[in-house]
Amino acid sequence: MPPDVPEFPEGSCEAALFAAMQARDPATGRHCKRVVALSVALARACGLPEGEQAAVAVAARLHDVGKIGTPDRVLYSPKRLDKDDWEIMKAHAAAGADIIMHSAMPQRELIAQAVRHHHEHYDGSGYPAGLSGHDIPLHSRIISLADSYDALGDARPYHPARTHAAIMRILNQEAGSKCDPDLLRVFEAMIADSPLRVP
């Protein structure tokens, strides 16, 4: 984690939620920390003001908090999920937003919105609301791209870790369908010489 990406204040509800998520699944906790760094770097590259960067950082760190309620057989499945289990997994985005809305954290509406829609796709094929294009909140589009980059670069039970070049090929194939093509151009320029770039 870059030193200029702040940790949650000790004793805050944000810290408590992240600790609960990390206790439920340490791998998800590590993934979320990496997504924070990527999301904040992209938010800066987009020229977002500091207050919005801070909201992106919190939303990125808690984007998978809804997985606290995902059953073990789904969360820890060693293979791709079947249709029924995939529907259960998809519920984590809205569940995470609801958890955040029950907290007292600053900017909770903005953060919950970013978390709720981080699995929307640019072409409208995502979830939970089927939003498309710029109807998807910018903060969600930022987190989605950072989430994809990190997930593709991380070894999972159903795919090996990919190189930076392989990840960028996949993301470019998904431009206009899964991810925002204009945001991807900004991300490409940002990640090219970033310490956050995977090998």
- Between CA 14 and CA 68, with CA 139 as vertex, the angle to 5 degrees is 40
Structure tokens, 134: 């710029």
Phi, psi torsion values for 192, nearest 5 degrees: -55, -45
Alpha carbons within 13 A on the beta-carbon side of 159: 11
Alpha carbons within 13 A on the beta-carbon side of 187: 28
Kindly state the helix (H) or strand (E) to which residue 1 belongs, with its residue range: none
- d(CA 174, CA 6) in angstroms, rounded, equals 31
- d(CA 109, CA 167) in angstroms, rounded, equals 32
33 is catalytic: no
Task: Determine which one of 33, 67, 83, 90 is catalytic.
Answer: 67
Q: 142 with 183: CB under 8 angstroms?
A: yes
Q: 177 with 121: CB under 8 angstroms?
A: yes
- d(CA 137, CA 24) in angstroms, rounded, equals 28
Kindly state the helix (H) or strand (E) to which residue 29 belongs, with its residue range: helix 26-45
Catalytic residue ranges: 67
